[in-house]
Chain A
Amino acid sequence: MRLPCGIINKSYSQDTAIVRTNLQWLLLVLALITLFTFPYWASPHWISVMIGVWISIIGVMGLTLLTGYAGQLSLGHMAFVAIGAYTVAILMSDLNWPFWAALPCAGMISGCIGVIFGLPSLRIKGFYLVIATLAAQFIIVHIISRWDSLTGGVFGLSVPKVTLGGFEFKSDFSYYFLAMIFALIAILIAKNLSRSRIGRSWIAIRDNDIAAEIMGVDPFKYKLLAFFFGCFFAGIAGGLWAPYLRYLTPEQFTLMGSVWYLGYMVIGGMGSIMGPIAGVIFITILDEFTAEMVTDLATGSPVFAGFVQASRYIVFGLAIILFLIFEPRGIAHRWERIKNSYRLWPFSY
């Protein structure tokens, strides 16, 4: 990373710090103030949209560690979100566990099942692994929809509210903060993993698995760690969805959901922590405007609902295609380049 003119690192520690200049500190503080005050000035609709954004960021962050960093492409991410959601729902409603104990459990169970489905990655890669993860998507959701006694099957399962002391997180206003805190923690954990020996080993496996192993990276350990964390994050995202949706059915966790996750990641940028954040925000805003515009155009028409749904998919697909053509490395990469050219201003090269 290039520094603005005149900033000189005085130690390695300073050289690796995330926030390094006064301007960066200022921007960080402004961003945090905006995010923490958001529910006070935003409309109820946008508060609920932002709750979705926070939770999706957690899920996409997991996929980014697994696919973007470790290079293990997954088409079954939504199934692990489902495991997290159902774990929280079952523990809270059947066993009366508090949300705060159920949520970490959701992450762990989802992560461990992810490791099981990750085992084939030790023998197969690329296309064949994609098929294996696709199998995970169908097997897991199939089990959930058939295991009536535990999950309520196709009829679904209702989920209690989250409480803390005497307080109930029942409004969008309060749930916004809950989702945001967990998302910020997830971002921090992902960032730390990515800059540690673990993140470096993941990239080594992604970029050259043979050289990585010969140079001392244990592929068994690091691939399974990637599956664990990727699915752990998915489980936490699911665990946060459950009490927000208040009612779970297997149809909420479709293959299309997994594809949607991949889309967020591709558009944001696969190999960075900024990527998922940028991707989720970009697609969500695009999606919101599409829905609004189509609603204006098509109000009163009998095929209205189907039309809105179809237009969302079309715009989503189009966005992915355009990004793959014009900026295959995603928004985060483009942003990095813009930043670099400004940093050296007025010496522009």
Chain B
Amino acid sequence: MGENGIKLRAENINLSFGGVEALIDVSFELREHEILAIIGPNGAGKTSLLNCINGFYRPQKGRIMYEGYDLTKVSSHKIAKMGLSRTFQNIALYTGLSTLDNLMAARNIRMRYNVFAAILYFGWAHREEMKHRRVIEDIIEFLEMESIRKKPVGMLPYGQRKRVELGRALALEPKVLLLDEPMAGMNVEEKEDMARFILDTYELKKIPVIIIEHDMGLVMDIADRIVVLDFGRKIAEGTPDEILANHAVINAYLGGE
């Protein structure tokens, strides 16, 4: 839908908290078909950038264009309805709900039945619930979460909670997927599973993905392009090979490695 293959375009984003400048004049594009990695040291502004896209932070300057709308002027829940879905660096699940209901909660925006139908439940509401349950079961199967379907997510181990978060993001039926360090803190096996799920999703749904990740080996493997942030500024952008050859990046970020 976006013009010449561009799904989302951030233009000159400036975001500051009091004296702290979290993002300075950051611009980038997300193409219709790509996995775009955002890398940079801690505190570089990566999470803040996603928060701007989600309408949770409002940049003081700049626009984020998506399907003809400027997301910096749209409220968060409407941005979700427009198809932007996301996982969080610090897991942000609904701890009182089961895996199943965490995913079902994300279906809310696709459900149509109203308050009166909810009160009666039988009939319209029940039919819709069952319809969406089928969609959710497919995701549960895809992410191999059958055994934790009915478990309250608060009791799950860290790696599985990360997986449930991906499931919740997929349950929204996203048109753009934003992943904030989906593999942080995982062991090698869990990381491999997660990478496989992300790549399979990308292949299957044909949606662009933005991923924030620290594991450079992994980024080089799965990303089509990389944006590098440092102290709130974009210091480089390009294919993995270009980034590896970029002196600014090597100095600022990969320096020691």
Question: Which A positions have Cβ atoms within 8 angstroms of B?
Answer: 1-2, 12-13, 16, 189, 192-193, 195-198, 200-201, 203-204, 206-208, 210-219, 225, 271
Closest to B85 in A: A215
Closest to A208 in B: B92
CA distance A265 to B97 in the complex (A): 19
Chain A residues whose CB sits within 8 angstroms of the CB of B81 once the complex forms: 216
> Which residue of A210, A214, A225, A271 contacts B80 across the interface (Cβ within 8 Å)?
A214
Main secondary structure of the interface of B (DSSP, over half): helix
Chain A residues whose CB sits within 8 angstroms of the CB of B79 once the complex forms: 214
Of the stretches B15-23, B34-42, B61-69, B104-112, the one at the interface is B104-112
Q: A207-B96, A214-B80, A218-B77 are in contact. Are A192 and B120 (CB under 8 A)?
A: yes
CA distance A200 to B169 in the complex (A): 16
Main secondary structure of the interface of A (DSSP, over half): helix
Chain A residues whose CB sits within 8 angstroms of the CB of B108 once the complex forms: 197, 200-201, 204, 216-217
Chain A residues whose CB sits within 8 angstroms of the CB of B55 once the complex forms: 214
- Kindly count the residue-residue contacts between A and B in the assembled complex, taking CB atoms under 8 Å apart: 102
Interface positions, chain B 64-118, Cβ under 8 Å from A, are 75-77, 79-81, 85-86, 88, 92-97, 101, 104-109, 111, 113, 115, 118
Chain A residues whose CB sits within 8 angstroms of the CB of B231 once the complex forms: none
Closest to A198 in B: B118
Chain A residues whose CB sits within 8 angstroms of the CB of B92 once the complex forms: 208, 210-211
Chain A residues whose CB sits within 8 angstroms of the CB of B134 once the complex forms: 12
- Do B119 and A189 touch (CB < 8 A)? yes
CA distance A215 to B137 in the complex (A): 19
- Do B105 and A225 touch (CB < 8 A)? no
- Do B105 and A201 touch (CB < 8 A)? yes
Max chain B CB contacts within 10 Å: which of A198, A211, A215, A219?
A215
Of the stretches B2-10, B121-129, B181-189, the one at the interface is B121-129
CA distance A6 to B151 in the complex (A): 20
The 6 closest A-B pairs by CB, nearest first: A216-B80, A211-B92, A196-B118, A192-B121, A216-B109, A207-B94
Q: A16-B129, A192-B121 are in contact. Are A200 and B76 (CB under 8 A)?
A: no
> Which residue of B95, B109, B126, B168 contacts A13 across the interface (Cβ within 8 Å)?
B126
CA distance A12 to B254 in the complex (A): 51
A196-B125, A213-B77 are known; give 10 further A-B pairs, CB within 8 A.
A1-B150, A189-B119, A192-B125, A196-B118, A198-B115, A213-B75, A213-B76, A214-B55, A215-B106, A225-B115
